[in-house]
Amino acid sequence: MKFTKMHGCGNDYVYVNLFEEKIADPAKVSIAVSDRHFGIGSDGLITIGPSDIADFRMRIYNADGSEAEMCGNGIRCVAKYVYDHKMTDKKEITIETGAGVKTLQLTVADGKVSLVRVDMGEPILKPDLIPVDASGEQVVDEPIEVEGREWKMTCVSMGNPHAVIFVEDTEHFELEKYGPEFEHHPRFPKRTNTEFVHVISPTEASMRVWERGSAETLACGTGTCATVMACILNHKTENKVLVHLRGGDLTIEYDPDNNHIYMTGPATEVFHGIWEEN
Ligand SMILES: N[C@H](CCC[C@H](N)C(=O)O)C(=O)O
């Protein structure tokens, strides 16, 4: 099976072009290729295929084989892949995802995509749509007990669930200890991605992320969008924020006129190869 290894801010996936390859069991393949010792090594598998309602269709599978609704870093890499591999010559493309059709603007330098701006659509705030077990119309600054400590969370879905927790120091935060406890907490019927965020200023933040089904990743595009929405809901930042992740930076803008969130960031192709299913 031919694959291409790409990353967005260090959030790395194995990409497979379904116009050329067939994958009978993507969950099984994602588990195998994601293994960083016995496989290729990645945060998961992303497939690029045809769509009846958009230019292309993207599906994302976590390292544990579970399918996610959307992937922010991944969709930027999909846009880079289809343009650089001459599957389209458009600089504005649409991609069908589990969270609806997204529109992307490509910046091209020397014939290759260097930067992508994604309209990530509207944040979803209703508890039962996130989903999270909570009352009310939104989950903002909500107490939750994890590992015997009370935390305050703000929950946002970008098609996939996120719990945003504000902390003073992300670098020394015990992510391995608390990340899985949030991921599997009974208040999240579909588990959750969890972002631990330090607000630096009204226009800047840093964060780390424990992803549903993939453990800590160096970046999470949907998580960064959820983080900025949480910052705005908690009156901590303005609508445009530069976010520092372990693997790089993303610029997130919330447009109050259409309630859409826009994410701008890089996409990188690292190598390609042949995966022999053993
Ligand atoms: N890394 C991805 C998100 C993957 C989400 C996945 N972990 C889940 O929702 O289960 C991103 O850049 O948005």
- Do residues 18 and 135 share a domain? no
Range of the domain at 190: 127-258
To the query of whether residue 71 is one of the catalytic residues in this protein, the response is: yes
- Are 256 and 262 contacting, i.e. CB atoms less than 8 angstroms apart? no
- Do residues 11 and 110 share a domain? yes
Indicate yes or no: pTM above 0.80: yes
Structural domain count of the chain:
2
Q: CA 152, CA 23: separation in Å to the nearest integer?
A: 41
pLDDT, one tens digit per residue, over 206-232 is 999 999 999 999 999 999 999 999 999
Quickly state the pLDDT bin for 247 (edges 50, 70, 90): very high
- Does residue 212 have a known ligand-binding role? yes
Both tokens assigned to 78: 């999909």
Gap from CA of 148 to ligand 1 centroid (Å): 27
What is the structure's pLDDT at 127?
98
User: Quick check: 120 pLDDT over 90?
Assistant: yes
pLDDT, one tens digit per residue, over 136-182 is 999 999 999 999 999 999 999 999 999 999 999 999 999 999 999 99
- Do residues 114 and 180 share a domain? no
Do β-strands 161-166 and 193-201 pair in parallel, antiparallel, or remain unpaired? parallel
- Do residues 132 and 243 share a domain? yes
Q: CA 8, CA 138: separation in Å to the nearest integer?
A: 30
- Are 225 and 260 contacting, i.e. CB atoms less than 8 angstroms apart? no
- Do residues 248 and 142 share a domain? yes
To the query of whether residue 220 is one of the catalytic residues in this protein, the response is: yes
Query: Does ligand 1 have an atom closer than 6 angstroms to the CB of 30?
Result: no
- Do residues 115 and 157 share a domain? no
State the ipTM, two decimals: 0.92
- Do residues 58 and 104 share a domain? yes
- Do residues 183 and 229 share a domain? yes
- Do residues 151 and 65 share a domain? no
- Do residues 141 and 249 share a domain? yes
- Do residues 18 and 93 share a domain? yes
Quickly state the pLDDT bin for 277 (edges 50, 70, 90): confident
- Do residues 233 and 252 share a domain? yes
- Count Cβ atoms below 10 Å from residue 18 Cβ, excluding itself: 15
Query: Residue 94's domain is classified under what CATH number?
Result: 3.10.310.10
